[in-house]
Amino acid sequence: MEINLNKLRVFYLTVREKSITKAAEKLFVTQPAVTMQIKSLEEGLGIKLFRKRGNVIELTEAGKDLYSYAEKIFDIVRKMEGRMARYSDVSGGCLVIGTTRSFARHLMPDVLSNFQEQFPNVKISLRVGSSKAIADDLLEFKYDLGIIGELPYGSKLKTINYTKEEFRLVTSNDHRFVGRRSVSLKELENEPIIIREEGASSRHLILSLLHDHNVSPSVLIEAGSVEFIKKYVIMGRGVSFLYVSEIRREIEKGLLRDIPLKEGPILLQTVIAFPRDAGLSPAAEAFLRLTECTY
């Protein structure tokens, strides 16, 4: 037994409106068409939905039972239609963004504040992790967008260039590099370097850069916490490469020193990423427009 939803809707509206004429008006069809659809529904079910008592037509017990289910079904349909309508524009819905801890602190507040001013009814959920972890989760459709550092992500993700973030070589105040006008990457050959954890785009960038200059660093420790790295460098336990925005306060207070490189500044390209074959939600499209990113 299969129930055709179009026929069920005709039956539902006829009962709700208590009139074949009104049901026909709602459906923009003729009265005979409504009668034919109800008859076809009865034949398909093998039951009578209406009975006539004198000049009054009323529901059978089966008709009453079917109508109670139809009420629930079309109530859900109305809610579904309303919910989906929220996604057809940017008047509601949710935008889930994955980003790194560093970007969440220094890059996202301004852009998200601007987005919320433009689209106050969109709920924003910001989640953090390494660039690699977020890229993997994007392929699992856990986020609408990822704002992460550039990595070799493969063809399943589409990436749009966003901003460039500068890295600086940082040392303690009593390090041998302090006072120098600049140092070369080659001078880091035997220097203990504290780097970010596996999966971080900054780790990939720094190690690739050192490799390109034939430098084999003496990696002292890997860490996922920028605060830990800064404290370890301040203690004189090694040097590191950190975003300018991450060290500004410590530089101003004289706790860390940033040392210029002869090879010039180190810039990390950040990207906005999303699954290549997935359609973007209106909120995600609005976010790209706001950040002036085209795809």
Note whether 145 and 24 are same-domain residues: no
Number of compact structural domains in the chain: 3
Note whether 142 and 276 are same-domain residues: yes
Give the CATH number for residue 83.
1.10.10.10
Note whether 257 and 194 are same-domain residues: yes
Note whether 45 and 184 are same-domain residues: no
The answer to whether the beta carbons of residues 218 and 171 sit under 8 Å apart is: no
The answer to whether the beta carbons of residues 188 and 212 sit under 8 Å apart is: no
pLDDT given for residue 83 in this prediction: 61
Indicate whether 45 belongs to any domain.
Answer: yes
Note whether 141 and 230 are same-domain residues: no
pLDDT given for residue 271 in this prediction: 92
Mean pLDDT of the chain: 87
Note whether 72 and 123 are same-domain residues: no
The answer to whether the beta carbons of residues 202 and 269 sit under 8 Å apart is: no
β 56-59/94-99 pair status = unpaired
pLDDT given for residue 253 in this prediction: 92
CA distance 98 to 213: 32
pLDDT digits (tens, 9 = 90+) for 49-64: 998 877 677 899 999 9
Domain final residue pick, 61, 87, 113: 87
pLDDT digits (tens, 9 = 90+) for 71-128: 999 888 887 776 665 555 666 678 899 998 888 888 889 989 998 888 888 889 999 9
Whether residue 294 is predicted with pLDDT greater than 60 in this model: the reply is no
Note whether 35 and 127 are same-domain residues: no
What percent of the chain is predicted at pLDDT more than 90?
36
Indicate whether 220 belongs to any domain.
Answer: yes
pLDDT digits (tens, 9 = 90+) for 170-202: 999 999 999 889 999 999 888 899 988 888 888
Indicate whether 261 belongs to any domain.
Answer: yes
pLDDT given for residue 86 in this prediction: 54
Indicate whether 35 belongs to any domain.
Answer: yes
Please state the three-class secondary structure of 250-270 as a single string: HHHCCCCEEECECCCCEEEEE
Indicate whether 283 belongs to any domain.
Answer: yes
Note whether 172 and 156 are same-domain residues: no
Note whether 127 and 207 are same-domain residues: no
Domain final residue pick, 87, 117, 145: 87
Give the CATH number for residue 184.
3.40.190.290
Note whether 145 and 277 are same-domain residues: yes
Q: Domain range for residue 188? A: 165-267
Note whether 136 and 102 are same-domain residues: yes
Note whether 158 and 25 are same-domain residues: no
pLDDT given for residue 87 in this prediction: 54
pLDDT given for residue 107 in this prediction: 84
- The SS3 assignment for 107 reads coil
Indicate whether 295 belongs to any domain.
Answer: no
Indicate whether 197 belongs to any domain.
Answer: yes
Domain final residue pick, 56, 87, 118: 87
Decide: pTM greater than 0.85.
no
pLDDT digits (tens, 9 = 90+) for 126-168: 999 888 899 988 888 888 999 998 877 767 788 889 989 898 9
